[in-house]
């Protein structure tokens, strides 16, 4: 009898911990756009391009304009983190369970500079990470340099 009570208590505690974690988790939206809403000269952008979230939060990528997707850079995510690739023109959600810095792109427009950063928990990366990532090419390198400048000014 005591053993059953002990097991039941453990289940209640674990269930409560999971419920509390999901209550505090947030969902953030990133728009995939043909034009920047704040600067019409900038084309093919994620808005916001830099996002700071907590472990357990979800990011919902919204395909506001057709022809875009989101894909993590294979070497641009923390070790052990889940990589992703959405379908073009479709909304996509991912929950971040590993702390670190995530570099991502729009597959068709990465060479045009359509890239983004998600900082999960404490900021752990810098522009040197992009330099090491051989898959980052074209305007994406310059765009990442600008995004990391934004990160440096964040609190």
**SS3 state of residue 139:** helix
The residue ranges of every structural domain in the chain are 25-153
**pLDDT at residue number 115:** 97
Burial class (CB in 10 A: 0-12, 13-18, 19+), 70: buried
- Of 50, 61, 59, the closest CA to residue 145 belongs to 50
Q: CA angle 122-125-127, nearest 5°? A: 145
The 10s digit of each residue's pLDDT in 53-99 is 999 999 999 999 999 999 999 889 999 999 999 999 999 999 999 99
The CATH code that applies to domain 25-153 is 2.60.40.420
């Amino acid at each position: 009898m005591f053993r059953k009570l002990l097991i039941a208590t453990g289940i209640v505690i674990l269930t409560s911990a999971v419920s509390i974690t999901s209550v505090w988790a947030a969902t953030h939206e990133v728009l995939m756009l043909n034009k920047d809403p704040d600067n019409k000269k900038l084309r093919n952008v994620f808005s916001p391009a830099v996002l700071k979230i907590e472990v357990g939060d979800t990011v919902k990528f919204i395909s506001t304009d057709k022809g875009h997707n989101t894909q993590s850079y294979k070497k641009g995510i923390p070790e052990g983190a889940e990589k992703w690739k959405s379908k073009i023109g479709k909304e996509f959600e991912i929950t971040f369970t590993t702390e670190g810095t995530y570099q991502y792109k729009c597959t068709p427009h990465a060479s045009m500079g359509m890239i983004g950063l998600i900082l999960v928990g404490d900021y752990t990366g810098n522009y040197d990470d992009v330099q090491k990532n051989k898959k980052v090419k074209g305007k994406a390198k310059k765009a990442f340099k600008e995004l990391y400048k934004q990160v440096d000014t964040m609190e």
